Amino acid sequence: MVRKGMVVLAMAGLLGATVTAAEAGPSRHAVLQKELDGLVGPFPAALASVSRGGRTESLVAGSARLGGRVPVPVDGRVRAGSNTKTFTAVVVLQLVAEGKVALDAPIERYLPGLVPGGRAITVRQLLQHTSGLPNYTEYLGLEDFAKLRHRYFQPHDLLAAALAHPAKFAPGTKWEYSNTNYVLAGLLIERVTGRPVAEQITSRVIGKADLRNTYWPAVGDETIRGPHPQGYARAGDAVIDVTELDPSWGWAAGQLISTPGDLAKFARALLGGRLLPAPELAEMRKTVEAPLLPGWRYGLGVFSVPLSCGGVYWGHGGDIHGFETRGGATDDGRAVGLAVTALPGTFGDPDRAAQAVVSAVDTAFCR
C-alpha cells in the first residue's frame, strides 16, 4: 500500500541454486551485506534475495525480534502488501487474453451500478491508477491502526469508504495511486470468473510461477505461517509488535504473504513471459508518469523504476503495518526482493528510512 505524503513505491522462475558468499564473490557480497546492515536502526531487520546470471543469493541483517539478538530467517515470509496488485493485474490481463475482459471497456460493463461514473472509467484506468477514484485507505482510520488491527473488512466495506467521497479528477487526466482501483479489479475477477479472487490468484499466478512460499491468508487468519521475522509499527508513543493482524483491509490491493525470494522469482516469471501472452505483457508495460521520484512510471499494476547503472527495473513493492517490501526484475534477468520489518518512520526519520530502502534496492541491482 502507498502512504500519503511519503516517497514510497509500491516492488522468471529462478533456476539457479542459492550460493554462498564465497561463490558469489566476496567484494560484491560485502557491498550488498553492508547495504543491508545499514538498514538496521531505521528497521529492526532486513532480508534480501538477489539473482543474476542464474545464481541467487539470500542475505539478512538485524534481529528477527526487538529486545534481543534473534537470527533473521533467511528468505523468511513477510506481508507483501501492494505487491498483491501486480498479481491481481496479471489475472485481469489473463482474462483479457481469454477474451473475457476488454481493457478499454468501462467498468460499468462488468460491475453494473456499482461505481458512480462507471461508464467513463475503463478497466485499464483502474489498473493504471488513472481512474480518479478516491483511495479508501484515507478514510478507514488507519492512522490509529491499533484499533483496527483485528477488524475484518468485507471488500464492499472498503469500496463504500471510498465511494462516499467525490472523485479526485476526471478519468484519464492524471495519475494518482488509489487502492480502491484494485478492490474493483478484484471484484471484476470474481464477477467474470464466478470464483474467489484468492483462488484465481493462487491457481493462475502463484501456482504457475511455482511460488512455494507465497499464499493468500484465509478469512480470519491473522498469522504468518512458516519462518518469519516479527513486524513492528508505532502506536502513539510506543512501538508494538503487529506481526499478527487481519489483512482484509488490503484484499486484492494488498493481502498476500510472500518472501523476498518469491517476489523476485515472480518478477522474473512475469517479464519472462510465463504468466502473460506477449500482447498482454506489452499492454502491462505501457506506462504513464508516476510522480513519486524522478523517472518513475506506472504501467498496469507495475512500476518502471530507473537504475543508477542505466536502464530500469520492473516491480511494485508494498507497505503494510509491520513490513515494507521493494524490488522487481530487469529485462536482462537480474532480480531483487528486499524486505524490512517496519514502515519508514517507525524508528526515526521517515524520508531518510524510505530513501535508504530505495538505495539498497538500486545497489542490489547495480553492484
Residues with catalytic roles? 82
Residue 263 cell numbers, joined: 517476489
Per the structure block, which three cell numbers stand in for 209? 510461477
- CB 63, CB 241: distance < 8 Å: no
| DSSP-derived 3-state class of residue 106 | strand
Q: Which residues fall within 8 angstroms of residue 338, CB to CB, at 6 or more apart?
A: 46, 47, 48, 49, 260, 325, 326, 327, 357, 360, 361, 364
Distance CA 297, CA 312 (A): 10
Please list, residue by residue across 59-68, b when 16 or more beta carbons sit within 10 angstroms of its beta carbon and e when fewer do.
bbbbbbbbee
Question: What one-letter code names the amino acid at 139?
Answer: Y
d(CA 46, CA 85): 23
Helix (H, G, I), strand (E, B) or coil at 24: helix
Instruction: Quote the cell numbers at residue 211.
Output: 511460488
- For residue 311, give the C-alpha cell: 536502464
Contact call for residues 122 and 111 (beta carbons, < 8 A): no
Element holding 59 (H helix, E strand): strand 55-62
d(CA 117, CA 277): 31
Distance CA(42)–CA(7), nearest Å, equals 15
Alpha carbon 113 to its chain centroid, in Å, reads 29
CA distance 178 to 266: 23
Cβ atoms of 127 and 301 closer than 8 Å: yes
Helix (H, G, I), strand (E, B) or coil at 190: helix
